[in-house]
């Protein structure tokens, strides 16, 4: 027994000597090891962002009426597939083939250019960027639900994911002119979220609201005709999105090969989580004060508003500041939702207040914590990206409306898009 104890003590001391925390923040590992860890970061965080796809599907299918749930399922699996193909065919090189300080890349398919010098597998970067592209299209899907034809939506998705999004994304992340102008958007409050919101606004204006959605006084109609199919489903969807957001923001550190990178990612996770918490609580307090009731749908969207707001800069803020940024994002969701009602813009899931309004706030708030940026360059980026996406999207929606048509018939809308567009009823009662 004494002999065993002696050996164990020796082994413990050896481990302390050989494997103890002797590194410093400045220490580095070899190039091959960094390559492996950076690649793993892209792949793991890419998986998390891809998991946001079922989150969007759950949220949207729970927010629409029960007669449009199958359509939501079809749209979400379709848009993700289209985004994957289009980002491979055109998107990646339109964004990352851009000249330094330029405006647009090349219309060529992605090809693997992996080398040790890049610091990560080229394929892992393509995958990580592709799921961001798909997320942009998911934002549009929910806004236009219950009255848009599915195939015109798919056509628009192909243009958005293959051309529109890659161009504006490349302006900053691809080293384009906005990057040269000092614009900063860490993980996409504007480049992804406000851009998706801009495309959604354009589509909602051209498409018009659901039949009977608004009264002549612009007040919201009573909910029964537009009752959500499943609030628990929406809740699950939001939690899935919240979970996936750690990949969204954490992966945007773009490296996990040093102690500093690992520390930064941990801080990003903390700030991302706290911003969502702030969005929920602030939203709940405001809705309680405003209406005397605690609106669960707005609380859920408040979480997303907080997440969107912190996405522009999740590393620089202190934890308390992250809570405040997220809280303001949550309040903006409430205000934005009321504004859309007044403007008679029908946003089925509340994507515009969440992604567009909160995304703009988060982007403009970056200089508060990141001294390397300024308000003028942030405002320039917001106006340029949202303006470009809105104008081009509006033109495309108009062309689609004038040619193939984008809205289902009144009869189809009354019966439900599941029957008219899909032929599969999501919920049926059997004896």
Task: Report how far residue 23's alpha carbon sits from residue 18's, in angstroms, rounded to the nearest whole number.
Answer: 11
Domain segments of the chain: what residues? 30-250+357-364+373-422
With a cut of 90, say whether residue 383 has pLDDT above it. yes
What's phi and psi for 358, nearest 5 deg?
A: -65, -30
| Better-scored residue on pLDDT, 349 or 225 | 349
Mean residue pLDDT of the chain comes to: 90
Tell me if residue 220 falls in helix, strand or coil: strand
pLDDT for position 30: 86
Distance between CA atoms of 271 and 323, rounded to whole angstroms?
8
pLDDT of residue 6: 45
Q: How far, in Å, CA of 351 to CA of 329, rounded?
A: 13
Q: What is the pLDDT of residues 263-322, one digit of tens each?
A: 999 999 999 999 999 999 999 999 999 889 999 999 999 999 999 999 999 999 999 999
Q: Write the DSSP assignment of 179-205 as a string of letters.
A: HHTT---SS-IIIIIIHHHHHHHHHHH
- Answer yes or no: is pLDDT of 80 > 60: yes
Q: What is the pTM of this model?
A: 0.90
Question: According to the model, what pLDDT value does residue 175 have?
Answer: 95
Q: What is the CA radius of gyration of the chain?
A: 23
Task: Sort 82 into a burial class: Cβ within 10 Å, 0-12 / 13-18 / 19+.
Answer: buried
Q: From residue 254, give the alpha-carbon distance in Å to each of 133, 173, 343, 361.
A: 17, 11, 40, 24
Residue, of 145 and 21, whose pLDDT is higher: 145
Question: Does the pLDDT of residue 366 top 80, yes or no?
Answer: yes
Is the CB of residue 422 less than 8 Å from the CB of residue 75? no
Instruction: State the pLDDT at residue 13.
Output: 33
Instruction: Please state, for a pLDDT cut of 70, what percent of the chain lies above it.
Output: 90
What pLDDT, on a 0 to 100 scale, did the predictor assign at position 21? 40
pLDDT for 228: 83
CA atoms of 330 and 310, how far apart (whole Å):
11
pLDDT over 70 at 431, yes or no = no
The superfamily (CATH) of domain 30-250+357-364+373-422 is Ammonium transporter AmtB like domains (1.10.3430.10)
Mean pLDDT of 27-48: 91
Task: Tell me how many degrees the CA angle 360-365-370 measures, rounded to the nearest 5.
Answer: 135
Q: Which two tokens stand for residue 272?
A: 């991302």
More confident residue, 173 or 224: 173
CA quadruple 33, 39, 45, 47: dihedral sign: negative
Quote the CA–CA distance of 309 and 292 in Å, as a whole number. Answer: 26
Sequence-distant contacts of 113-117: CB under 8 A, at least 24 apart: 116/31, 116/32, 116/35
pLDDT band at residue 429 using 50, 70 and 90 as cut-offs:
low
Say what the pLDDT of residue 217 is.
Answer: 58
Choose among 199, 193, 133: nearest CA to 162.
Answer: 133
């Amino acid at each position: 027994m004494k002999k065993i104890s002696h050996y164990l003590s020796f082994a413990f001391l050896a481990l302390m000597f050989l494997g103890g925390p002797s590194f410093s923040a400045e220490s580095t590992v070899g190039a091959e090891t960094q390559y492996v860890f950076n690649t793993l970061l892209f792949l793991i965080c890419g998986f998390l962002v891809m998991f946001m796809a079922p989150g969007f599907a759950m949220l949207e299918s729970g927010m629409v009426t029960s007669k449009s749930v199958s359509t939501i399922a079809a749209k979400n699996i379709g848009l993700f597939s289209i985004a994957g193909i289009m980002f491979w065919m055109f998107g990646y090189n339109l964004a990352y083939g851009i000249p330094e300080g330029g405006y647009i890349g090349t219309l060529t398919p992605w090809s693997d250019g992996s080398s040790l010098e890049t610091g990560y597998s080229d394929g892992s970067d393509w995958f990580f960027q592709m799921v961001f592209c798909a997320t942009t299209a998911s934002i549009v899907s929910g806004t236009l639900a219950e009255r848009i034809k599915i195939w015109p939506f798919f056509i628009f998705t192909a243009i958005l994911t293959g051309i529109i999004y890659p161009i504006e994304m490349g302006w900053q992340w691809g080293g384009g002119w906005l990057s040269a102008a000092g614009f900063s958007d860490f993980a996409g409050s504007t480049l992804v979220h406000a851009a998706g919101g801009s495309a959604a606004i354009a589509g909602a204006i051209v498409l018009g609201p659901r039949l009977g959605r608004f009264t002549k006084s612009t007040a919201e109609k009573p909910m029964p005709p537009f009752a959500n199919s499943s609030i628990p489903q929406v809740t699950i969807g939001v939690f899935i999105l919240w979970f996936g957001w750690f990949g969204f923001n954490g992966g945007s550190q773009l490296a996990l090969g040093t102690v500093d990178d690992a520390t930064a990612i941990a801080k990003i996770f903390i700030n991302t989580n706290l911003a969502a918490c702030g969005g929920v609580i602030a939203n709940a307090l405001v809705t309680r004060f405003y209406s005397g009731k605690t609106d669960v749908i707005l609380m859920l969207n408040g979480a997303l508003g907080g997440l969107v707001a912190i996405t522009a800069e999740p590393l620089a803020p202190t934890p308390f500041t992250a809570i405040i940024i997220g809280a303001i994002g949550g309040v903006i969701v409430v205000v934005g939702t009321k504004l859309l009602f007044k403007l008679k813009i029908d946003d089925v899931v509340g994507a515009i207040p969440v992604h567009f309004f909160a995304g703009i706030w988060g982007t403009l708030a970056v200089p508060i914590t990141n001294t390397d940026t300024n308000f003028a360059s942030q405002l320039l980026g917001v106006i340029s990206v949202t303006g470009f996406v809105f104008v081009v999207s509006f033109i495309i929606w108009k062309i689609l409306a004038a040619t193939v048509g984008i809205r289902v018939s009144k009869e189809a809308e009354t019966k439900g898009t599941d029957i008219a567009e899909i032929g599969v009823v999501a919920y049926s009662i059997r004896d």
